[in-house]
Amino acid sequence: MAEQGSVRRTKYQRIATELRDAIQAGEYAPGDRLPGENELMAAYNVARMTARQALGVLQNEGITEARKGAGVFVRSFRPLRRHGIQRLSGGNWGSGQSIWSADLGERALVVDRVEVTERTAPEHVATALGLSPTATVCVRSRRFVLDGKPVQTAVSYLPSELVAGSAVTHEDTGPGGTYARLAELGCKPVRFREELRSRMPSTEEATELGLSSGTPVIQICRTAFAEGGRAVEFSELTLDSASYVLEYEFDA
């Protein structure tokens, strides 16, 4: 008899566990093809749907990826370690570096889409920035691609009256990015607040990030504050959860 409180795993979960263990043990290296549905059916004496579900578990966890007509392969993409505190240090963007420089190492990041518009602030944005309901904001939308894979989309909102005529309204904001330009405008960010939550993506988000079915995203809402407590930027970041490790290091 099973021990009280134990969880009985289904056949597809047991197969997925064995495959996951084999990957972690190095039996399947990044880029290797995993056994296909027919092979799993024969090896474990299960139905096709069970084999398909087992492979689907690993895809949803971001461990593997399906290639049309070729099979399921161990992902060769290395998750990006996001240093949540160091990346926002004024020592980075204040010296002309991107806040991404704390995360990337030698890897190359590509921003393959930048859109800059102006619009009336959505209600939640106006609240976060302390603006009137009719105030306008500069909206900066970007998509970030690493090693050929989309990993994040970002939408930033800044008060139009603050950044009008500055490089913040250009696609390329220059060395140090938006925060360096805000400093030049006399509104240097001195404090940040981030709120994180995990959720399932919308259809549009799944398409933009090229997500497999069932893969969640991490949403980060960040507010930047200048001296005196004024909110000068509100950003909504959507991360492919399988592409990131979130790291926070701080003194006790």
User: What is the residue range of 141's domain?
Assistant: 80-247
Q: What is the pLDDT of residue 245?
A: 84
**3 falls within a domain:** no
Report the interhelical angle of 37-44 vs 11-24 (nearest 10°): 110
**6 falls within a domain:** no
**123 falls within a domain:** yes
Residue 128: strand, helix, or coil = helix
Task: Please tell me whether residues 19 and 41 are part of one structural domain.
Answer: yes
Task: Please tell me whether residues 87 and 52 are part of one structural domain.
Answer: no
Stated pTM of the model: 0.76
Please give the Cα distance from 23 to 26 (Å, whole number): 5
CB 34 within 8 A of CB 15: no
User: How many residues are listed for the chain in this entry?
Assistant: 252
The DSSP H or E segment spanning 37 is: helix 37-44
What is Dmax (Cα atoms) for the chain? 73
**Angle, alpha carbons 20-2-37 (nearest 5°):** 30
CA 86 to chain centre: 17
Q: What is the pLDDT of residue 184?
A: 95
**94 falls within a domain:** yes
**Angle, alpha carbons 75-80-86 (nearest 5°):** 170
| Domain containing residue 138: CATH number | 3.40.1410.10
Task: Please tell me whether residues 159 and 59 are part of one structural domain.
Answer: no
* Per-residue pLDDT tens digits for 171-208: 999 988 999 999 999 999 999 999 999 999 999 999 99
Q: What is the pLDDT of residue 148?
A: 83
Task: Please tell me whether residues 162 and 51 are part of one structural domain.
Answer: no
Residues 6+ apart with CB under 8 A from 121: 129, 131, 133, 135, 136, 137, 157
Task: Please tell me whether residues 150 and 172 are part of one structural domain.
Answer: yes
Residues 6+ apart with CB under 8 A from 160: 118, 135, 136, 137, 138
Q: What is the pLDDT of residue 3?
A: 45
Task: Please tell me whether residues 69 and 84 are part of one structural domain.
Answer: no
Q: What is the pLDDT of residue 17?
A: 94
Those residues of the chain that have pLDDT short of 50 are 1-6
Residue 180: strand, helix, or coil = helix
**15 falls within a domain:** yes
Q: What is the pLDDT of residue 211?
A: 83
**240 falls within a domain:** yes
Q: What is the pLDDT of residue 215?
A: 81
Please give the Cα distance from 242 to 88 (Å, whole number): 22
Task: Please tell me whether residues 119 and 177 are part of one structural domain.
Answer: yes
Q: What is the pLDDT of residue 92?
A: 60
Question: 60: which DSSP letter?
Answer: H
Task: Please tell me whether residues 107 and 230 are part of one structural domain.
Answer: yes
Number of structural domains the chain divides into = 2
**4 falls within a domain:** no
| Domain containing residue 38: CATH number | 1.10.10.10
